[in-house]
Amino acid sequence: MFDLSGKTALVTGASRGIGSGVARRLAAAGAFVWVHYNASRDSADALAAEIRTNGGKAEVIGGNVAQPEAVEAMFATIEAQAPVDILVNNAGINIEQHLVRMSDEEIQAVLSTNLFGTIYCTRRALPNMRKARWGRLVHMSSIVANLGSPMQTIYCTSKSALFGFSKALTKEYANRGITSNVIMPGLIDTDMTRAMPEEQLKAILAGIPAGRMGTTEDIAAAVHFLVSPEASFISGAEIAVNGGAL
């Protein structure tokens, strides 16, 4: 079950954190994985090498998903080998700051990467998915998209917009065998969370019924299921992977 042999997957923001866990998982399931990066080329190269060492298939692709011309170049390179069957829109940034103190450039940076980057990549992947009458789109949101979070107003905005985006895609493309779903990770054990102040971390953990942080493997497992052939009747869903946090 959940075999992805013969499928080509693009995981954006895959050089570290959640994206790297997703790339490993999809490669282990048989997919040819394109490990996308924007700035962290060395990390992306190391991950692709690790996947190949473990018997998987992976290549590295770079580009800024916030720039349509960069997205076009990325897909042209990938499609020279095979069209994208699975797109995991994981690339994202966060700038923590009170809204009134955020510059126009900071607001634009967050929205451009998190929201417009997702739109540009999805738009570019869809034509071949439509032709094949098969495709899987997964958009990485966050628990704060529903809960809100201080100092993250624009981040929350960008992540909550993915709900409407995904539901509309479902209405347009479900009859072409293309599914679109959103995953909302909770507190996940990554470099970012390890850098959080201890007291802040304890306060967040106290609100998680499972009593622990999630792992990148927890998120990767959810992505793996949603992009598998077995999940063909699941579209427009918003899946919380958060240990029961409300």
Q: Which of the following is catalytic: 37, 120, 155, 173? A: 155
> Residue 168: CB partners within 8 Å, gap ≥ 6?
none
Give DSSP secondary structure letters for the chain. Answer: ----TT-EEEETT-SSHHHHHHHHHHHHTT-EEEEEESS-HHHHHHHHHHHHHTT-EEEEEE--TTSHHHHHHHHHHHHTT---SEEEE---------GGG--HHHHHHHHIIIIIHHHHHHHHHHHHHHHHT-EEEEEE--THHHH--TT-HHHHHHHHHHHHHHHHHHHHHGGGTEEEEEEEE-SB-SHHHHTS-HHHHHHHHTT-TT-S-B-HHHHHHHHHHHHSGGGTT--S-EEEESTT--
C-beta separation of 135 from 85 below 8 A: yes
Q: Which two tokens stand for residue 93?
A: 């940034």
Active site residue 155: yes
Report, as residue numbers or ranges, the catalytic residues. Answer: 155
